[in-house]
Structure 1
Amino acid sequence: MTRASLDKQPHEVAAMFDDVAAKYDLTNDVLSLGQTRLWRKAVAQSLAVSPGERVLDLGAGTGTSSLPFAAAGARVVPCDFSLGMLREGKKRSPFLPLTAGDATRLPFADGVFDAVTISFALRNVHDTDAALREMLRVTRPGGRVVICEFSHPTLKAFRTVYTEYLMRALPPVATAVSSNPDAYVYLAESIRAWPDQPALAARLQQAGWSKVAWRNLTGGIVALHRATKP
């Protein structure tokens, strides 16, 4: 199977990311017109880690998203279920403790992290609600979570243009720069199927998180959801 279905079977999604690992970060920069770096910077600012804090960076892929936390002095653990991504990350940043793990069954004890974050990966998890509960479990009381994910543009006219870009412009661009263009068709479909900002906030609350809030980036193309463990 070359493109994972929206059923998001874990072995299919992992294989897809294994296949695109080498060029994944470059492809994302091209497809987002350079916005990816700004979105990741917003995540780092929102999480606001302090030196010595224990941070779980879930869905970390090659570990690119973990570097700002390490630079801030946090003890960051990049975790991903794609071994191909982790192998690529180990080549680039051998000092990072990259860890293989399933977001729905994390290989960590209860309450061991001060903060948990996941960027552009939650929508690829087979059971979103289980992942939200697992993130809560491994976070200490009073700890926090920041989720950065593609969302729904707030302006209707812009939403239409954005949807057209996803389904028409994205595949040919991906064909030019990616080793597996079908993977990016899947990613476009997964973005369209993802719940909007209030719906994701409600799921965070149902999972047990408190003080749930969000803010939109780039007109709602991306949303940052933030919450605290009671």
Structure 2
Amino acid sequence: MRPAYGPGAAESPGPCCHNGGVTRASLDKQPHEVASMFDDVAERYDLTNDVLSLGQDRVWRREVAKAVDARPAQKILDLAAGTATSSLPFARTGAYVVPCDFSLGMLRVGKRNHPWLPLTAGDATKLPFKDDTFDAVTISFGLRNVQETDTALSELYRVTKPGGRVVICEFSHPTWAPFRTVYTEYLMRALPPVARAVSSNPDAYVYLAESIRAWPNQPELAEKLRKAGWSKVAWRNLTGGVVALHRGFKTA
């Protein structure tokens, strides 16, 4: 998710990296930096993700759809939806899905490509929805970009109906040490050159690599979910732990 601005955001601006007029956020995740960075990559975002993940992003999204298990007439919040590509599997089930994102650039591309979807601008730490609205809430590859992760998890809990569920898909820590070493080398050495070939803002993918390395591991994220109120928290590794699916429930 592109992180919060307004209440709760840091008041003093952090360092911002520029290259030819485009922006790369720093790891303090200043909201205006992150929003600008994702605005810059919106046009080729889906293509870039497909190339950089070697097509694995499609597999991961299928697993998210299975975990969310959307049903006809259910209300689903797809937070950090970007261009709303991630929302399409939920819509196909007959559920009412709300793609929500912080980046207006992403939302513009999404609305152009999927005009029938109710794309909504929203701040992860202050969601524009009433309490107990959604049967399921999900966020894929966005929680890592929120400045106040714990607040966002509490907000997701607030807007979920009692008995509802959360599914988080996020980059994580490979479980096999030799593969973890290779993966880290790919992130820091191979990913930026590939991004330069396919992305409109390759510096943004340097931030992506840095933010993945700094992100909590699977048990640490599970504990954050529990502290936010979610129960029956569990996770499942995908691609050897490159990505992890976390799920929890709001007590009925």
Residue 230 (structure 2) pairs with residue 189 (structure 1): no
Tell me whether 1:79 sits opposite 2:100 in the alignment. Answer: yes
Q: Provide the rounded CA distance (Å) in 2 between the counterparts of 1:63 and 1:120.
A: 13
Letter matched to residue 45 of structure 2: Y
Alpha-carbon distance between aligned partners in 2 of 1:207 and 1:120, rounded to the nearest angstrom? 19
Match of 2:11 in 1: none
- 1:215 pairs, out of 236, 240, 249, with 236
Residue 111 of structure 2 corresponds to 90
- Using the size of structure 2 for normalisation, the TM-score is 0.91
Match of 1:206 in 2: 227
Is 1:56 the counterpart of 2:77 in the alignment?
A: yes
Higher share in helix:
1
Which of 114, 129, 138 is matched with 1:117 structurally? 138
Letter in 1 for 2:178: A
* Cα deviations by residue, 1:25-61 (Å, 9 ceiling, x for unpaired): 0000000000000000000001111100000000000
Letter in 2 for 1:136: Y
SS in 2 for 1:8: coil
Q: What amino acid does structure 2 have at the position aligned with 1:99?
A: T
Q: Does 1:10 align with 2:31?
A: yes
* Paired-residue identity, %: 77
Q: Per-residue CA shift, 1:164-216, capped at 9, x if unaligned?
A: 00000000000000000100000110000000000000000001000000000
Q: In the TM superposition, what whole-angstrom CA distance separates every residue of 1:100-151 from its partner, at most 9, and x where no partner exists? A: 0000000000000000000000000110000000000000100000000000
Aligned structure 1 segments of 4 or more residues deviating by more than 4 angstroms: none
Deviation per CA, 1:60-100: give whole Å up to 9, x if none.
00000000000000000000010000000001000000000
Q: CA deviation at 1:155?
A: 0.1
The number of residues matched between the two structures is 230
Structure 1 unmatched ranges of 5 or more: none
Alignment RMSD (CA, Å): 0.4
2:160 to 139, 145, 158: 139
Tell me the secondary structure at the aligned position of residue 198 of structure 1.
helix
Q: For the residues of structure 2 that align with 1:20 and 1:102, how far apart are their CA atoms?
A: 19
1:3 and 1:68 mapped to 2: Cα distance?
30
For 1:89, give the aligned amino acid: G
1:172 aligned residue: 193
Residue in structure 1 matching 2:121, options 91, 100, 125: 100
Any idea what SS the aligned residue of 1:144 has? strand
Unaligned runs of 5+ in 2: 1-15, 17-22
Report how far residue 3 of structure 1 moved. 1.4
Q: Secondary structure of 2:24's partner?
A: coil
Corresponding residue of 1:42: 63
Residue 19 (structure 1) aligned to one of 24, 40, 43: 40
TM-score normalised by the chain length of structure 1: 0.99
